[in-house]
Chain A
Amino acid sequence: GQQLNQSPQSMFIQEGEDVSMNCTSSSIFNTWLWYKQDPGEGPVLLIALYKAGELTSNGRLTAQFGITRKDSFLNISASIPSDVGIYFCAGPELQGAQKLVFGQGTRLTINP
């Protein structure tokens, strides 16, 4: 099946810094989704991208759907303590059910 490679696996930053993470695949996706998950809770949808080249913002978060449809990135500006968590990229497989394929996740830690 399709796979997503997410990087970096973890980030340790200072409060106020900007963050960038990305997701790549060897096959195309028609939709890219970015989720944030806190420990023991379900993933929360941050941004959904539906068109190649699309750039979408949600507050301090900005995500882009790559032109090749094989990659996406998520940026967080001016990080704050509540940004701590695990960020996942995901996309529905092209065939059959809208099974979401997930990246390995990026664990974000912020030093105050």
Chain B
Amino acid sequence: ETGVTQSPTHLIKTRGQQVTLRCSSQSGHNTVSWYQQALGQGPQFIFQYYREEENGRGNFPPRFSGLQFPNYSSELNVNALELDDSALYLCATAGGGRARDTQYFGPGTRLTVL
């Protein structure tokens, strides 16, 4: 096991609602990335946080936002949910230096938007 945990494991929301997903980092890892994985696809990068600052963003609209806390845990917030937001949301953490290239994933949160 990686030591990366995510909560909740499953979530059902309706269109227009807001959702917050949480990720606890593996010990010693100060970089957290969030990915969206649609069924049958590879993970797509949403954004990354390093030392509490956003460190890069993928092709996702501003209604996807995040936070990283001093203990390196992180939240992903999605506002105004759309049906297409239904997916597996994954967080991945990494350590410093060269180890920042090597990301360890949590088990994911399955979000269903009705």
Contacts and interface: CB of A to CB of B under 8 A. Distances in A.
Contacts, number: 72
Given A30-B101, A42-B108, A100 B58 contact: no
B63 interface: no
Interface residues of B, number: 31
A39 to B, nearest CB: 10
Interface size class of A (residues with CB under 8 A): 20 to 34
B44 to A, nearest CB: 8
A88 to B, nearest CB: 6
B33 A99 contact: yes
A92 B50 CA distance: 15
Contacts of B35: 100
B48 A42 contact: no
A90 B102 CA distance: 10
Would you call the interface of chain B mostly helix, strand, loop, or mixed?
strand
Contact of A35 (B45, B100, B105, B106): B105
Contact of B42 (A44, A97, A105): A105
Would you call the interface of chain A mostly helix, strand, loop, or mixed?
loop
Contact of B90 (A43, A48, A97, A99): A43
Interface in A11-37: 30-31, 33, 35
A112 interface: no
Contacts of B45: 99-101
Interface of A: 30-31, 33, 35, 40-45, 48, 50, 88, 90, 92, 96-105
10 pairs of A and B residues whose beta carbons are closest in the complex: A97-B56, A102-B42, A42-B105, A31-B101, A99-B45, A97-B48, A42-B108, A97-B55, A42-B107, A43-B105
21 contacts: A41-B107, A41-B108, A43-B90, A43-B105, A45-B2, A45-B102, A45-B104, A45-B105, A48-B101, A48-B102, A88-B43, A92-B101, A96-B55, A97-B33, A97-B55, A97-B56, A98-B33, A99-B45, A99-B48, A100-B35, A102-B43
